[in-house]
Amino acid sequence: MSDVQFTARFIQSLDAVDAGSWDACANPVEIDDRNAIGERYNPFISHAFLRALETSKSVGAGTGWTPLHVLIEDCEGRLVATAPAYIKSQSLGEYVFDQGWAQAYAKAGGRYYPKIQIAAPFTPVTGRRLLVARDAPHGARDALIEALRALGRSAGASSIHVTFAAAADVKALDSAGFLSRTGEQFHFINEGYRDFDDFLNALSSRKRKTIRRERKEALGVDLSVDLLTGADIKPQHWDAFFAFYMDTSSRKWGRPYLTRAFFDEIGRAMPERILLIMARREENYIAGAINFLGDDAIYGRNWGAIEHRAFLHFEICYYQAIEFAIRHGYQRVEAGAQGEHKLARGYRPVVTHSAHEFADPRLSEAVAAFLEREHVVVDSMIGEYEAFLPFRHG
């Protein structure tokens, strides 16, 4: 137990908290701390990224994501822990699917929504969710978990969901009585490759030839690729990319999550953390992908194209990102949710984690039984994926 008296506050906008204080909790590891356990900097829990979602109206009224972030302050009023929290009226944009739980609960006469979501909206990227300052007093994380429960009670929420959570958060939430859930993604792991050819040499001969052929056919003789970051990204690049995003998002989800203003906001607030990979024919862009840059990883987020071209998706989203990671010394590339086709292109299966708590003990018991079965399935799938990795043996 801690002797420190903590105070919990709930805020409806990131504008109500100092950016430096938030980021000291969100990304507390020093940039040059190479011995840090886990990730050093994650852009998706930064004040700049989350605020851009709010100011661009990508979250807020009418989106199903109502911000109500949790702040924990010590007796001197200093922010020592926080969590990006949202009241949800649906289950879109989360990538950890619970619609089956919602439907089952509704059939049993329950009301699943609203629920509390602790997450980086529209972002299936593992990261810290219980954001605790490096010098926070003992007990700050526990106070934050209890504040999340208080938020759930005050909102009349059926449940609290902490998705794509880092290992330390999962451990703390498990100890606090939350149910744990696993899933899988596919990440490229940089094994210290000298260049892209060195990476290809680690693959089987057949896979190596396939990737070389795909790269050649993707660009042909008429396309070139621009890698843009920082001040190199101009409004015309955002205009082109947004057209790609709108086309793909409309076909996948029916309604795009991110507004055009969001891209302007992040372009102003965090330009050095963005990598646009754009395919161009002469002066006209036809496809592109947006990546965010951490200190340890490249995070591929959205892709789109206004022209179909065989293998162009693989080139722009996977191969160019791998090449950039190797050239700049990034440890891994995270290319988003799902996609077994990534295995053949050198991406490895990785387990993801989430934590869930339910107000109704009957729902909690039913979900716990489901998760026990699901854990077995996920473990089996990971084993099968490992068997199909394209790397040479021996």
Tell me if 267 is assigned to some domain: yes
User: Is there a single domain that holds both residue 258 and residue 366?
Assistant: no
Same domain, 97 and 201: no
With respect to residue 2, please indicate whether it lies within any of the assigned structural domains.
no
| φ/ψ (deg, to 5) at 33 | -85, 85
Position 393 in a domain: no
Contact 226, 284 (CB under 8 A): no
pLDDT digits (tens, 9 = 90+) for 293-352: 999 999 999 999 999 999 999 999 999 999 999 999 999 999 887 778 899 899 999 999
Q: Are residues 141 and 208 in the same domain?
A: no
Distance in Å from the first CA to the final CA of the chain: 51
Mean pLDDT, all residues of the chain: 94
Range name among 154-158, 240-244, 250-254, 296-300 with the lowest pLDDT average:
250-254
Average pLDDT over residues 148-174: 97
The predicted pLDDT at position 121 comes to 98
Is the pLDDT reported for residue 186 higher than 80? yes
The answer to whether residues 305 and 244 touch, using CB atoms and an 8 Å cutoff, is yes
Q: 388 or 356, which is more confident?
A: 356
Which residue range is the domain that position 216 belongs to?
191-330
Q: Tell whether 335 is covered by a domain.
A: no
Examine residue 342 and state whether it is found in any structural domain, yes or no: no
Q: For residue 1, is it within any domain?
A: no
394 pLDDT above the threshold of 80: no
Specify whether the CB–CB gap between 47 and 23 falls below 8 A.
Answer: yes
Residues 300 and 381 in one domain: no
- 378 and 292 share one domain: no
* pTM (two decimals): 0.94
121 & 242 share domain = no
Dmax (CA) for the chain in angstroms is 68
Judged against a pLDDT cut of 60, whether residue 35 lies above it is answered with no
Q: How far apart are CA 353 and CA 375, in angstroms?
A: 11
* Matching residue, tokens 């292109």: 345
What value, to the nearest 5°, has the Cα angle with vertex 356 and ends 355 and 360?
165
- Phi and psi angles of residue 275, each rounded to the nearest 5 degrees, phi first: -125, 115
| pLDDT at position 157 over 80 | yes
Residue 95 has pLDDT above 70, yes or no: yes
Residue 358 in any domain: the answer is: yes
**Same-domain status, 175 and 248:** no
Q: How many domains does the chain fold into?
A: 2
Query: Which residues, at least 6 apart from 277, have a Cβ–Cβ distance to it below 8 Å?
Result: 225, 226, 227, 228, 288, 289, 291, 316, 317, 320, 321, 324
pLDDT at site 145: 98
Which residues share a beta bridge with 292?
Answer: 274, 299
Q: What is the pLDDT of residues 366-387, one digit of tens each?
A: 999 999 999 999 999 999 999 8
- Considering the domain architecture, whether residues 279 and 195 belong to the same structural domain is answered as yes
Q: Are residues 226 and 180 in the same domain?
A: no
pLDDT of residue 251: 64
Looking at the structure, tell me whether residues 101 and 67 fall in a common domain: yes
Residue 245 lies in a domain: yes
- Considering the domain architecture, whether residues 148 and 240 belong to the same structural domain is answered as no
CATH number at 154 reads 3.40.630.30
Query: Is 56 in the same domain as 139?
Result: yes
- What type of residue is 56? S
